[in-house]
Amino acid sequence: MKQFYLILFSILTFLACIVFSSFTPEPEPLANTPGSYVKSQYHGGITDFGEAIKLTQMVALSLDGTDLAVKDLQKSFDQLRVKYKKIEFLAEYFDAEFIKDYINGPPLKSLERNSPSLSILEPEGLQVLEELIYGENPFQEKSAITGLIDALDKNFHYFESYQLTIRIEDRFVFEAARSQLIRIFSLGLTGFDTPMTGNAISEATISMQSVFEALKPYFPLVTKDPLLAETTKKTFASGIEYLDEHQDFDTFDRMAFLMTYINPLYQQILDLQLALGIETYYETSPLNLKHSVNYFAGNLFDNDFLNPYYYLKLRASENNKALVELGRTLFFDPVLSGNNERSCASCHKPELGFTDGNKKSIATDFKGTVDRNAPTLVNAVYADKYFYDLRVRELEDQVEHVINDNREFHTTYLEIFERLGQSEEYVNWFNRVFPQWEKEPINKNTLSSALSAYLKSLSGFNSPFDQYVRGEINQLPDGVINGFNLFMGKAGCGTCHFAPTFNGLVPPVYHESESEVLGVPLSNLDSVKVIDPDLGRYNGNLKERAGIFKHSFKTTTVRNITLTAPYMHNGVFETLEELVDFYNEGGGQGLGINVEFQTLPPDKLDLSDEEKSDLISFMEILVDTTGMTARPVSLPKFQNNPQFNQRKIGGNY
């Protein structure tokens, strides 16, 4: 399949060249302009990257079983990584999907995009090579290594042929630079793409230097605010110097780097762009195009850093207080359930971080349980797929699964519409909020819109941690700061629970929600070590029924984690201590369970008791349910159905 797409790509590129040769091309940046400088820098970097691939190819071919040959290959590979890091910020900006699939994606199997069948894409690129070149015996893997480098060389030529045709506009440089700051902090400094070498800090240094070099020609043009340009230059230079002087991965102070360099630079680059009168993507995008990152946010942990409407069908122009209140009322109203005793709040209790505290949620009429427990709804909006098994692509469509499930609401949309239509209060409310639906205001679209507006209001980025990194409070306990540094570094938590949501929403564009195969046991650590039989994502969607997704579950947020016990989809861990121990042991494989496609590294973390305690202290401070826990004072009345008026706010169970 991959070969087919590459051939197709070549044909389309050839045809495009013929077609567009008859049109007047976009003018290139004038000589000696910042754009021409960045173009020259980028194109030269691409050439250097290609040459480094060729050199590594040659070194790999001469690999033998000696330590010297292995070290030569590792040295060559390290230089190859350096050459890539110098161009990464623009390469990722212009073609992130190709980079992920063929240049520098995670060393994990995946489903090929847009394939009509379950076509498994074998991992390729730098991260896979790193695992082999820095593995136990690279010489035994020589054939695989040379094959992967050959593939990288071939893929590089497709990459090069496309990248060299791109017109580099000033806007692209600034957007790519800010995006790279997110990548450096959330992926680079966590070791996300350097799992074997320990070169995360040195590569972050190269990456940050490349962004600085690209922005340098713009500084002299900031004539209206030369102090801004000078301050930005000093922040870059100091940040690069800090990286140079603190190269140890385990002890690197990520909190200090975030607050002293990443966040200030993120704001300063935006200020430079605006001071120069360079447009943002809001001015150049189609009016109906939604962006996941709020470009005017000045801090990676701003309350509005992410745009919730990117993830919703609901538009910002459609949302209002009345709609949210209608959604809240519906959320707490058991009239939506078949037995008039259950509401959404039955399994998503505000006081428990919108979970229910059960290992698995109680089924209708107490007839057993559902398959899993109720995940938190705080910040649930920020995802591209929903439920533990990622079976639903739209938040608004989640409610349909709950309504139709015999173990949950056990009803139908039509029955709900008929019920709500019997309440004059509800009818008037829907009419007031949805005047455009004057003939039929109570319908699937309006119901889901109201509920999604309420869920959108459950946005919590105002914990003491957030306030501290935004400079709104001056102090956090040392253990919390150390715990954050462990979370984003040695403990490896931040490589799956990405900042700032601390869930599986992948930076820096935050378009994709990841799932992980952790090898979650059926019972706790002191019991027989058997994997939980729930197949997760494998059974969630027929289009994803591939072996790599067996026992794969959505990476949920650790925000409000102190409110949401027990943990994991099956509630197997009752305390944070048990949860941390599970990861510290290396997940299921680390416990001795046979987990075929475990995505969590099986190596022990070797965290000390103090480090585990600090890690928990950090997670415990991530609590924010401010303004989210209010329940309706009353529920709408039913004039002709008095039995409905006896229902309890939030349901009976």
Which residues neighbour 52 within 8 Å (Cβ) at sequence distance 6 or greater? 76, 79, 80, 83
| 469 shares its domain with 428 | no
> CA 21, CA 27: separation in Å to the nearest integer?
14
Q: Which of 425, 456, 487 is the last residue of a domain?
A: 456
Rg (CA), the chain: 26
**pLDDT computed for residue 248 by the predictor:** 97
Distance between CA atoms of residues 458 and 633, nearest Å: 19
**Which string of b and e fits 131-141 if b means at least 16 CB within 10 Å?**
ebbbeeebeeb
**pLDDT value of position 113:** 81
The letter for the amino acid at 262 is I
Per-residue confidence (pLDDT) for residue 27, from 0 to 100: 53
Other Cβ atoms less than 10 A from the Cβ of 238: the count is 13
Residue 627 is assigned to a structural domain of this protein? no
Last residue of a domain, one of 167, 191, 214: 167
- The answer to whether residues 402 and 480 belong to one domain is no
Q: Across the strands, what pairs with 536?
A: 552
Task: Identify residue 287 by its one-letter amino acid code.
Answer: L
| 653 lies in some domain | no
Considering the entire predicted model, what is its pTM? 0.93
How many whole angstroms separate alpha carbon 50 and alpha carbon 35?
23
**Which phi and psi (to 5°) does residue 349 adopt?**
-85, 130
Q: Confirm if 223 and 230 have CB atoms less than 8 A apart.
A: no
191 and 201 share a domain? yes
Asked whether 150 and 472 are in contact (CB, 8 A), the reply is: no
Three-class SS of residue 536? strand
Are residue 137 and residue 272 in the same domain, yes or no?
no
**13 in the same domain as 136:** yes
Taking CA atoms, 68 is separated from 62, 74, 139, 140, 482, in Å, by 11, 10, 12, 15, 39
> What is the domain extent for residue 270?
169-289
Could you tell me which of 645, 644, 618, 638 has the C-alpha nearest to residue 561? 618
Q: Of 171, 159, 195, 128, whose CA–CA distance to 45 is shortest?
A: 159
In a domain, 603, yes or no: yes
Report the pLDDT value the prediction gives residue 30, as an integer from 0 to 100: 57
Domain co-membership, 336 together with 270: no
Asked whether residue 84 is assigned to any structural domain, the reply reads yes
Q: Are residues 275 and 337 in the same domain?
A: no
d(CA 384, CA 505): 8
- Total domains present in the chain: 4
Spatial distance between the Cα atoms of 34 and 20, rounded to a whole number of angstroms: 26
Place of tokens 């409110």: 563
Residues with pLDDT less than 70, the chain: 1-31, 525-528
Confirm whether 449 is domain-assigned. Answer: yes
Residues 473 and 440 in one domain: no
Asked if 59 and 193 touch (Cβ cutoff 8 Å), the reply is no
Q: Which residues of 523-573 form beta strands (DSSP E)?
A: 552-554
Q: Examine residue 628 and state whether it is found in any structural domain, yes or no.
A: no
Q: Do residue 444 and residue 482 come from a single domain?
A: no
**Rounded-to-integer distance, Cα 191 and Cα 492, Å:** 8
Q: Residue 409's domain is classified under what CATH number?
A: 1.10.760.10
Cβ atoms of 505 and 497 within 8 Å: the answer is: no
Residues 408 and 332 occupy one common structural domain: yes
**Would residue 296 count as lying in a domain?**
no
The 3-class secondary structure across 217-263, one letter per residue, is HHHHHCCCCHHHHHHHHHHHHHHHHHHHHCCCCCCCCHHHHHHHHHH
Whether residues 577 and 535 share a domain: the answer is: yes
C-alpha distances (whole Å) from 9 to each of 16, 49, 101, 292 are: 10, 22, 15, 28
406 within a domain of the structure (yes/no): yes
Instruction: Look up residue 90 and give its two tokens.
Output: 């623009």
Residue 483 CA: distances (Å) to CA of 251, 255, 449, 465, 497: 12, 10, 39, 11, 14
Q: Is residue 244 domain-shared with residue 255, that is, in the same domain?
A: yes
User: Which pLDDT score, from 0 to 100, does residue 31 have?
Assistant: 66
Last residue of a domain, one of 439, 456, 473: 456
Encode burial over 524-544: b for 16+ CB neighbours within 10 A, e otherwise.
eeeeeeebbebebbbebbeeb
